[in-house]
Amino acid sequence: MGKDMRTVYTDTLIDIAKENEQICVLEADLMAATGTKTFKDVYPDRFFDVGVAEADMVGVASGLSAEGKIPFAASFGTFASRRTFDQFFLSANYAQLNVKLVGTDPGITAQFNGGTHMPFEDIGMMRLVPGLVIIEPADIVSCEALIRAAADYKGSMYIRLHRKGSNALYAEDQKFELGKGNVLVDGDDVTIIATGFIMVPEALKAAQILKEQGISAAVIDMHTIKPLDNKLVLDYAQKTGAIVTCENHQVAGGLGGAVAELLCEECPTPLGRIGSQDRFGQVGTLEFLIKEYEMTAEDIAKKAVSVIAKKR
Amino acid sequence: MNQEKKQDLQEKAREVRIETLKSIGHLGVGHVGGAMSIVEVLTYLYYAEMNVNPQEPRMNDRDRLVLSKGHAGPALYSILAMKGFFPKEWLLTLNQGGTNLPSHCDRNRTPGIDMTTGSLGQGLSAAVGIALATRLNKTDNRVFAIIGDGESQEGQNWEAAMSAAQFKLGRLIAFTDYNKMQIDGMTEDIMDLAALENKWESFGWHAQRIDGHDFEALAEAVKRAKEETDRPSMIVLDTIKGKGCSFAENKLGSHNMPVSADDLKEALAALGEGEN
């Protein structure tokens, strides 16, 4: 069993902070949840907990950034996005600063915290911020690589971070580039474009199910939702003629929305979108919720078959 | 403060008002009231207190200012132009398309502006972050912030108030422009702020309340605030909205108002424009 995603997040920051003294970590009373206490232990001067005050956290992070610091500020995705949207929009992004805002517990992974804590809209909101880079790592290897890329990237980012659990989809020496999706499985009949810790493994399972039905499905890990890897999406739209997007988020505004916008303008292609269909969150286990919101591998495979049927 | 210094600052303040009114008057509309009420504090900071360098606006150990009530930018722009951060001609480009002087402060457009502001309530948090960075960088500068009284109704200020006290930011000195007026009416009628200095004190700040148009009081209060090492300071300024501008002084409608050619002429004459 590898490290938890959140441990990878914190350990990576601790490691980067050794060389880069500008790295700071901010929390709004969720240090215990994000798992950043170990950063505080190693770098107490560069760790700031502002209490239950997410708006202040993002404002303070912006001020730190104005002086050249590289702040990583985290909260549950609901609060990181909805509660701080104006602060992040204006003090961080409009001001062209370098704030890495981390929204944890994406979508259904909020589980027992339920509908009040279940972000299905954060990617959509963040996509509206001009120039903002949005990422969602799918496993511990990409998590470490993308956190390193985030620290190097000059500009604000929204990082959608799964907290609990571990999964290694990639070999340790896999290269990642912001804005470039990774093809995990090649295929000819349909392309499944997925993002995040929950949906990328489901997409891989769906490809297996489809294979048993004689359907060749490509699977892409779209770890960067903005800027979208337009070229990769268009290449696979042309190659396979059918696309299914998978996200642990509303289908409107997120990855599915981004892909739909691109395809409509550049290469109209039959498309199906997996994710919450304009619904609020609710309490439940991951197992219950993934079925409830029709996001399982079986749901993806079914969607793929229906999209393939729309090909001319 | 000796009489000569005081007169010198008063003369500078008069010049700031003239330049600001010309700048807003050239466009014909703008945030006159809240710009005029902070002329003395800005003049004091830039001509008697802050270590800044017009040739090197981002000088590492400069004192910082966050003008959280970003709509008062035009008053600050006048001072920055007078000090040589950019040519005075820029002042007449205020709010014109493509200008470097937008209505609200923008750190990426205007030399000498340390933080982008405009959505009220956000500047003090940024000032807290800047003060924390100052501590990490071990530089010797101070961080000043100016917030509005109406702006103080935004809850984020009080989040920032708690964090500044918690982090013991002795190098942070903030001012509240307590001109008692906001867009919809008198602050006491809309959302009363009452004895603001008591609020700050109870949030763990060193708090003072002075006449915000009195240079001697400003000098004394800033001197006292600088003696604080372990807690932030708030200086509540009793001010008059539109101060020194004949058509705007003490007028409720002065937040964002049209300025006619006649208004401008009359106000500039009252300020003795062209006289020495």
Distance separating alpha carbons of residues A259 and A257, to the nearest angstrom: 6
Condensed to tens digits (0 to 9), the pLDDT of residues B180-210 reads 999 999 999 999 999 999 999 999 999 999 9
CA–CA distance, B180 with B187 (Å, rounded to integer) = 5
Q: What is the ipTM of this complex?
A: 0.96
Question: Which residue's entry shows tokens 């292609």?
Answer: A269
Under an 8 A CB cutoff, do A50 and B159 touch? yes
**Which residues lie closer than 8 Å to A19 by C-beta, 6 or more apart?**
none
Question: How far apart are the C-alpha atoms of A224 and B70, rounded to whole Å?
Answer: 34
Residue A58 contacts B, CB cutoff 8 Å? yes
Q: Locate the domains of chain B by residue range.
A: 3-270
Please name the residues in contact with B82: beta carbons below 8 A apart, sequence gap of 6 or more: B12, B15, B16, B19, B88
Give the integer Cα–Cα distance in Å for A303 and B275.
80
pLDDT of residue B6: 97
Give the tens place of pLDDT for each residue, B75-122: 999 999 999 999 999 999 999 999 999 999 999 999 999 999 999 999
Task: Mutate one of A45, A52, A91, A100 to test the B interface: name it (highest B CB count within 10 A).
Answer: A91
CB contact under 8 A, A90 and B115: no
**Quick check: B160 contacting A, CB < 8 Å?**
yes
Beta carbons of A59 and B136 less than 8 Å apart: no
Tens digits of residue pLDDT in A182-203: 999 999 999 999 999 999 999 9
Interchain CB contact of B126 with A (< 8 Å): yes
CB of A252 less than 8 A from some CB of B: no
- Set A19, A21, A27, A54: catalytic member: A54
Q: Does A51 touch chain B (CB under 8 A)?
A: yes
Q: Is B14 on the interface with A (CB under 8 A)?
A: no
Record the tokens describing residue B37, joined without a space. Answer: 């009420």
User: Quick one: pLDDT at residue A180?
Assistant: 98
What average pLDDT does the segment B216-237 reach? 98
Q: Chain A partners of B163 at a C-beta cutoff of 8 Å? A: 48, 50-51, 53, 56, 60
Q: What is the pLDDT of residues B173-188, one digit of tens each?
A: 999 999 999 999 999 9
State the average pLDDT over residues B243-272: 96
Q: Which residues of A touch B166 (CB under 8 A)?
A: 50-51
pLDDT band at A1 (very low <50, low <70, confident <90, very high): low
Q: Which residue type does A298 have? A: E
Q: How many CB contacts within 8 angstroms connect chain A with chain B?
A: 107
Task: Give the β-pairing of A23-27 and A133-135.
Answer: unpaired
The predicted pLDDT at position A251 comes to 97
Q: What is the pLDDT of residue A252?
A: 96
What is the per-residue pLDDT for A2? 87
Any chain A CB within 8 A of the CB of B109? no
**Which whole number is the average pLDDT over B52-59?**
98
- For range A73-102, the mean pLDDT: 98
**Nearest-CA residue of chain B relative to A70?**
B133
Same CATH fold assignment for domains A5-161 and A182-309? yes
At A209 the pLDDT is 98
> Is pLDDT at A115 greater than 80 in this prediction?
yes
Residue written as token pair 């009040």 = A116
Is-catalytic flag, A19?
Answer: no
Nearest CA in chain B to A86: B119
Which of these, B149, B133, B137, lies nearest to B181 by C-alpha position? B149
Residue A153: both structure tokens together? 């990237």
* A51–B118 CB contact, under 8 Å: no
CA-based nearest distance A53→chain B, Å: 6
What does the pLDDT read at residue B276? 58
Q: Which fold has domain B3-270?
A: Rossmann fold (3.40.50)
pLDDT of residue B36: 98
Contact B107/A at CB under 8 A:
yes
Contact (CB<8Å) B159/A53 = yes
Average pLDDT, chain A: 97
Chain A CB within 8 Å of residue B124 CB: yes
User: What is the domain partition of chain A in residue ranges?
Assistant: 5-161, 182-309
CA-based nearest residue in chain B for residue A48: B167
Beta strands in A4-151 (DSSP E): 23-27, 47-49, 70-76, 100-104, 133-135
Higher-pLDDT residue of B276 and A213 is A213
* Paired residues of A48 in beta bridges: A26
> Which residue out of A56, A90, A98 would a mutagenesis test of the B interface target, given it has the greatest number of B Cβ atoms within 10 Å?
A56
Chain B CB contacts of A53 below 8 Å: 159, 162-163
Q: Which fold has domain A5-161?
A: Rossmann fold (3.40.50)
> If one looks up domain A182-309 in CATH, what number appears?
3.40.50.920
Cα-based distances in Å from B143 to A179, B115, B135, B149 = 38, 11, 11, 20
Backbone dihedral angles phi then psi of residue A201, each to the nearest 5 degrees: -60, -35
Q: At A190, give phi and psi (nearest 5°).
A: -160, 150
Q: Is B125 on the interface with A (CB under 8 A)?
A: yes
Secondary structure element (H or E) that encloses residue A305, with its range: helix A297-309
The residue in chain A having the minimum alpha-carbon distance to the alpha carbon of residue B59 is: A67
CA distance A56 to chain B (A): 5
pLDDT over threshold 80, residue A312: no
For the segment A264-279, the average pLDDT, to the nearest whole number, is 98
Looking at CA atoms only, how far is residue A152 from chain B in angstroms? 19
> How large is the angle between the packed helices B123-137 and A54-66, nearest 10 degrees?
50
Is residue A10's pLDDT more than 90?
A: yes
pLDDT in tens, A14-64: 999 999 999 999 999 999 999 999 999 999 999 999 999 999 999 999 999
**Beta carbons of A63 and B131 less than 8 Å apart:** yes
The alpha helices in A91-195, defined as continuous H runs, are: 122-127, 140-152
With CA atoms as reference, the chain B residue closest to A55 would be B156
Q: What was the pLDDT predicted at B274?
A: 81
B139 part of contact set with chain A, CB < 8 Å: no
